Amino acid sequence: MNRHYIENDEDALKIGPLTLSSRLILGTGGAPSHRVISETITASGAEMVTVAIRRFDPTLRDGSIFEELAKLSVHVLPNTAGCFGARDAVLTAELGREALQTDLVKVEVISDQDTLLPDPLELARATEELVKRGFYVFAYTNDDPALASHLANLGATAVMPLGSPIGSGLGILNPHNIELIAERIECPVVLDAGIGCASDAAFAMELGCDAVLAASAITRAKVPKSMARSISMAVRAGRLSYLSGRIPRRRLAQASTTDEGKPFT
């Protein structure tokens, strides 16, 4: 598998027990086939992929999504997609731990089917309980700095604020809040949900996010493999831009060339 070129080895993403070269995490939801998932992973160089626990079928010996991911040697981040309460999320996480032999879990606790927005109270309860049980919790949350801080204080391994609703492709609707979260939270911040194209991913990284998770933007693109590559490059570019330090915004122009040396007329 092609890996990302890193400008500096010390800039690798340290998240929970893992150290990753790539700051792009892939989601598998919406992919038309296992082949597309495999192609997009290879094209992007992603080293972590999230998959819904409910897609695990222990009766399948060959041909499952988990078999495909094992061949690619990527880290699987099981998620609790489809859960509407803390109790269901905790049970699903435990099933994932037993089935996949991993303590990693992306916790999703959804409030309703129409918006697919996180339920803050149930999410906090699930995060607290799973941390107590020894899980590395990646908490999918709203773009609320106060809630993000609370989840981090509960022991979340990573906080994953949404840019906009799942699958909407609307990009980052509240960049101010995402920037605040990135500034305030000590654990890794992963922009999750709402990415529509490469520029959205670059923007998230420029706001200070540590990584980006992209699913529908890639799996439902006209050419998933190419979109995976472009978003991967955008994540790298956005990270380098953030580390380089942008110039301050100004209301008026500021000449890049001074009047010094200007001939007298």
Residue list, annotated binding site for 1-deoxy-D-xylulose 5-phosphate: 167, 193-194, 215-216
Annotated binding site: 167, 193-194, 215-216
| 262 annotated active-site | no
Q: How far is Cα 198 from Cα 192, in angstroms, rounded to an integer?
A: 14
3-state helix, strand, coil in the chain (%, to 5): 40, 15, 45
Annotated catalytic residue: which of 71, 106, 132, 262?
Answer: 106
Q: Are 150 and 143 in contact (CB under 8 A)?
A: no
DSSP 101-163: ---EEEE--BS-TTT--B-HHHHHHHHHHHHHTT-EEEEEE-S-HHHHHHHHHTT-SEEEE-S
Residue 10 three-state SS? helix
Q: Residue 197: how many CB atoms within 10 A of its CB?
A: 16
Strands (E), 146-239: 158-161, 190-192, 211-214
Residue 216 three-state SS? helix
Structure-token pair, residue 26: 């892939």
What are 161's strand-pairing partners? 141
Structure-token pair, residue 113: 């089917």
Residues annotated as catalytic are: 106
